[in-house]
Amino acid sequence: MMRVSTKGRYGLRVALELALRYGGSPVPVREIAENQGISEKYMEHLISILKNAGLVKSVRGAKGGYVLSLPPSRITLLDIIKPLEGELSPVECVDNPGICDRSSTCVARDIWRRVKERVEGILRSITLQDLVDEHNRRVSAGFMYYI
C-alpha cells in the first residue's frame, strides 16, 4: 500500500512548526529539532529539501534560523509532500507507462492513476493554515477541557 515515508512525515512536522510561528522570529534548526524529537542532521536535510522547493528561507545572523517563504495559507500539503516524497503514484506505471507492455490497454493502470489524482487532490486542498487552525482549535479545546 502507498505510504508516506519518515521524510515526508517529518518534513510536514517541520513545515507545521514554522507555520505555527509564522510572522515571528526565525527558528533555529536546533530548536525545531529539539521540539520535534528529530536529529539536527536529519532536520538540516529536510530543511534543505524544503528550501530548494522554495517553501522555506534562511535568515543569517545571531538571531537567524528558518522561516516559511510564503504565508501558510499559500502552501498546500502537496507543495510540501511532493518534494520530500517524489511522485505519489501507487504503482510505477502511472508515471512511467513505458515500463509495461500492457500500459495502453491496462484498466488497472487507470484505477491507479485515479488513486494518484485523488490523493494529490486531497493534499492540494489542505493548506498549512488549515493545519494551524486545527492545531489551535485542538489546543484551545484541550485547555477548555481542563478549566
pLDDT, mean of residues 89-105:
84
pLDDT, mean of residues 16-34:
96
Of 59, 61, 80, the C-alpha closest to 127 is 80
pLDDT, mean of residues 73-95:
93
Under the banding of pLDDT at 50, 70 and 90, the label for residue 146 is very low
Eight-state DSSP code of residue 127:
B
b/e per residue, 103-139, with b = 16+ CB within 10 A? Answer: eeeeeebeebbebbeebbeebeeebbbebbeeeeeee
The residue segments making up the domain with residue 131 are 6-146
Under the banding of pLDDT at 50, 70 and 90, the label for residue 141 is confident
In a domain, 138, yes or no: yes
In a domain, 1, yes or no: no
pLDDT the model gives residue 1:
58
Supply the CATH number for residue 21's domain: 1.10.10.10
Q: How many domains is the chain partitioned into structurally?
A: 1
